[in-house]
Chains A and B, each alone.
Chain A
Amino acid sequence: MQDRASGVLAALGTLLLLSGAAIAEEKGPIKMGVLEDQSGDFAVATIGKVHGIQLAADEINAAGGIDGRKLELDIYDTQSDNRRYQEFMRRVLQRDKVDVVFAGFSSASREAYRPIVDQFKGLAFYNNQYEGGVCDANMIVTGAVPEQQFSTLIPYMMEKFGKNVYTIAADYNFGQISAEWVRDIVKENGGTMAGEEFIPLGVSQFSQTIQNIQKAKPDFLVTLLVGTAQASYYEQAVSANLHVPMASSVNVGQGYEHKRFKPPSLANMYVTTNWIEEVDNPASKAFVEKWHKKFPDEPYINQEAENSYIAVYLYKQMVERAHSTDHDAIRKVIAEGDVCMDAPEGHVCIDPKSQHMSHTIYLAKVNEDHSISFPKVWDDIKPYWLGEVGCDLTKENPEAQYTPSDNPKKSGG
């Protein structure tokens, strides 16, 4: 009995403390946790994301902050290691008590930290293209998803090069689910899979894979390789005289392989990306210019860097409209369906049902000399798939990830 009383007392005390903190917080800074890989296998693609967040935060603070409050960043290096994500996610949510977290590159790391965000009712932005399907009210995704990248790319490639398709993909959730998307879209469009191979992360020697592809003679090859070790594929394929056209959702726009490798190892690669620094419009030019002013040594500004930059401004808009960093208030603003902005890539909006973002999708073609041309641009491609299969975060929050073969619509009928 006494235990219970002291428990109540402690709870009351905590409540008082919390409300005290809440009052102080209204005037204090808004704290943003940033968990990105600044070292390890993924650092090539992700250091720019941190810079994008810093650039946006500096601009926002110079212009008076968010709703009059300064934006403060707590940046941690997650070292391309899923355990670090879990450790630091607990740290930012429990110890640093941040209002929002920007986190994650690989899908493995996202799925490693997502249960922790759900457990502590945090709010996390995942500013990365991925295999799609996360239906979780505690997550906001600004990266592109398969219905934006594959539903545009694969039919284009099939029409241009032929219907016999070969996929090589990294062997983890991103590669497996993305390959499933490719398989489905190829089938829908009357094509056939000439072959499929899943490559363990960290593999760097591809002679046998290259030979398997030569044997299958596909019309084009879908490369869903991830990490720097796997990127060795392109150089080795060209040196074995394999010149099949390639399609990808991750190359160029993420790992800027066209800048890192000697031409022509990436020639004839087609990538759907929501932005890269070669995009030729006035907004992008200005964006690249101010970026280089702050980070003169940036090797490349990729799509995830732009996503991260946009995400900070979208968060600012949500907080200012909600007049609070409270997550329910922010979700109410998202539910209004008009959280939009003009980004370097074009006009983008957050979809209330899935909390994913619409995108302008650029088809980037890598030329012989590794310059980029854009044969096609799709405006305003919405992240419609989650809504179609029954994800509606304005009504319920399943905190789940759906795939083409596993979603409510499939199991329901």
Chain B
Amino acid sequence: MDFLSSLFSFAYQAGDAFAFLVLSACGLAVIFGMMGVINLAHGEFILCGAYVSTSATHLGVPLPVSILLGTLVAGAVGMLLERAIIRHLYDRPLDTIVVTWGVSMIATQGTLILLGSTMQGTGTPFGSIEVGGYGYSVYRLVLMAAAVATLAVLWLIFTRTRFGILARATIQVPHIAEALGVNTSLVYSLTFGLGAGLAGLCGGLYAPTMTLVPTMGSAFVVEAFVTVVVGGADIFLGTAPAAAILAVVKAALTSWEGQLAGQIGLLVAVIIVIRVLPRGLTGFILRERA
């Protein structure tokens, strides 16, 4: 029983870290992996999702609906941003870094000026369960399920829908796709919107568990980038396994020596992976297959 409860505890901690890494990284991974754009405003899409969903909850909208609302609003803002700015910079990838960084600063400071330094939280729903003498938050189990569901839905979108096939075609050989009648500019917009929406989803899901402030996006960004860097360009071959490995590393080190060790372990893992596998896990897995 004691063994079982510590097993559950480790699985819970690793699952919790996995959910955090997957949810915070998959929006970034879609935009980077599919479009090659390094989106430094990723944290601010998360902020957008969190603020929209929390405001909706305060207005009496049920939580799942308000999370969906946050996702949609973040996605719409993402598409707008792509139309207005990002699309003019597709052949200048370094400039997109600077531009999205600028957007991120404007968004953070704009939120501070317009909405003030903080927003009241909504409280975490569902309470807790007890296993082997420890209390566990049920909502965090929901977050784990949400992470897995998000991956599953993304997989269905990219492999089973017309949009997914067109998107992959456009990303692979844009000119041929265009010649075959694909509206590539729409595909780019939608893909960027999808990435932004996923960030919004992450914000909406984590909003009930966190402090709501204009800088909250930065709490996700480091982990998101670490996961994407370790994973490489592909979400399913890269981001998901990367998140799983990093989650185990982080959970093990945090339970052994505390948060500092967990953070150090995460970053050391990244350094090792970049040194050994320059194209991330994606490159590794694809080479193995070939």
Q: Which residues of A approach B to under 8 Å, CB–CB?
A: 39-41, 43-44, 47, 171, 197-200, 202-205, 207-209, 211-212, 214-215, 228-229, 231-232, 235-236, 238-242, 259-262, 265, 297, 299
- Is there contact, CB below 8 Å, between A205 and B17? yes
Q: Tell me if B241 is interfacial: C-beta within 8 Å of chain A.
A: no
Residue among B120, B211, B258 making CB contact with A232, cutoff 8 Å: B211
| Known A203-B259, A235-B121, A261-B120; contact A229-B219, beta-carbon cutoff 8 A | yes
**Neighbouring B residues of A199 by C-beta, 8 Å:** 258-260
Q: Tell me if B89 is interfacial: C-beta within 8 Å of chain A.
A: no
Residue-wise interface mask of B (88-107) relative to A, using a CB-CB cutoff of 8 A (1 in contact, 0 not): 00000000000000000000
- Is there contact, CB below 8 Å, between B13 and A240? no
| Known A44-B213, A259-B120, A297-B116; contact A200-B135, beta-carbon cutoff 8 A | no
Give the most central of A171, A208, A209, A235: most B CB within 10 Å: A208
**Neighbouring A residues of B260 by C-beta, 8 Å:** 171, 198-200
**Neighbouring A residues of B12 by C-beta, 8 Å:** 207
Q: Which residues of B approach A to under 8 Å, CB–CB?
A: 9, 12-13, 16-17, 20, 108-109, 112, 116-124, 126-128, 130, 133-140, 208-216, 218-219, 222, 251, 254-255, 258-260, 262-263
Residue among A47, A202, A214, A297 making CB contact with B135, cutoff 8 Å: A214
| Known A205-B17, A229-B211, A297-B116; contact A240-B135, beta-carbon cutoff 8 A | yes
Residue among B127, B134, B211, B212 making CB contact with A239, cutoff 8 Å: B127
The 9 tightest CB contacts between A and B, nearest first, are: A241-B135, A262-B123, A241-B128, A239-B124, A239-B137, A204-B219, A208-B254, A228-B213, A232-B210
- Is there contact, CB below 8 Å, between B120 and A207? no
- Is there contact, CB below 8 Å, between B109 and A207? no
**Neighbouring A residues of B208 by C-beta, 8 Å:** 235
Residue among A44, A203, A239, A260 making CB contact with B209, cutoff 8 Å: A239
- Is there contact, CB below 8 Å, between A240 and B112? no
**Neighbouring B residues of A299 by C-beta, 8 Å:** 116-118
The total number of A-B Cβ pairs within 8 Å is 133
Tell me the bound Cα distance from A198 to B219 in angstroms. Answer: 17
Residue among A198, A229, A241, A260 making CB contact with B120, cutoff 8 Å: A260
Can you give 26 A-B contacts (C-beta < 8 A)? A39-B109, A39-B112, A41-B213, A197-B258, A198-B258, A199-B258, A199-B260, A205-B17, A207-B140, A208-B259, A209-B259, A211-B13, A212-B255, A228-B118, A229-B211, A229-B219, A231-B211, A232-B209, A235-B121, A236-B124, A236-B137, A241-B127, A260-B120, A261-B123, A262-B121, A265-B123
Tell me the bound Cα distance from A211 to B133 in angstroms. Answer: 10
- Is there contact, CB below 8 Å, between A228 and B13? no
Tell me the bound Cα distance from A297 to B116 in angstroms. Answer: 9
CB distance from A405 to the nearest CB of B (A): 20
**Neighbouring A residues of B137 by C-beta, 8 Å:** 207, 236, 239-241
**Neighbouring A residues of B209 by C-beta, 8 Å:** 232, 235-236, 239
Tell me the bound Cα distance from A43 to B215 in angstroms. Answer: 10
CB distance from B209 to the nearest CB of A (A): 6
Give the most central of A197, A207, A228, A262: most B CB within 10 Å: A207
With both beta carbons as reference points, the residue of chain B lying nearest to A215 in the complex is identified as B134
Tell me the bound Cα distance from A235 to B210 in angstroms. Answer: 7
With both beta carbons as reference points, the residue of chain B lying nearest to A297 in the complex is identified as B116
Tell me the bound Cα distance from A202 to B213 in angstroms. Answer: 13
**Neighbouring A residues of B108 by C-beta, 8 Å:** 39
Tell me the bound Cα distance from A311 to B259 in angstroms. Answer: 38
**Neighbouring B residues of A260 by C-beta, 8 Å:** 118-121, 211-212
With both beta carbons as reference points, the residue of chain A lying nearest to B264 in the complex is identified as A200
**Neighbouring A residues of B116 by C-beta, 8 Å:** 297, 299
| Known A200-B263, A260-B121; contact A214-B140, beta-carbon cutoff 8 A | no
- Is there contact, CB below 8 Å, between B130 and A241? yes
**Neighbouring B residues of A203 by C-beta, 8 Å:** 219, 259, 263
Tell me the bound Cα distance from A229 to B263 in angstroms. Answer: 15
Give the most central of B13, B17, B134: most A CB within 10 Å: B134
Tell me the bound Cα distance from A240 to B214 in angstroms. Answer: 26
- Is there contact, CB below 8 Å, between A239 and B258? no
Tell me the bound Cα distance from A212 to B255 in angstroms. Answer: 8
